[in-house]
Amino acid sequence: MGQLGDLEQKIEAKRNELNLAYRVYGLLSETVLKLSIELDKLLNAYYELTLVRTA
């Protein structure tokens, strides 16, 4: 699997982790905020890779 596929798997896993943390700790918890930032970084990396491939 290539870079995009790897990132897609990481994004999906992080989304699942974030959703679980939200249900357990609530929206305003530090854990949820940390996971949200990590997901944002993965999404940004994915976006950058797709831009490079389409440019």
pLDDT at 55: 66
User: Could you tell me the residue range of the domain that residue 17 belongs to?
Assistant: 3-54
Indicate the pTM of the whole model: 0.89
pLDDT at 54: 76
Q: Locate 45 and state its tokens.
A: 């990396």
CATH number of the domain within which 20 lies: 4.10.280
Element housing 33 (H / E): helix 30-54
pLDDT at 28: 95
Number of Cβ within 10 Å of residue 45's Cβ equals 14
Considering its fold, how many domains does the chain have in total?
Answer: 1
pLDDT at 52: 80
pLDDT digits (tens, 9 = 90+) for 4-50: 999 999 999 999 999 999 999 999 999 999 999 999 999 999 999 99
Q: Side chain identity at 44, as an amino acid letter? A: N
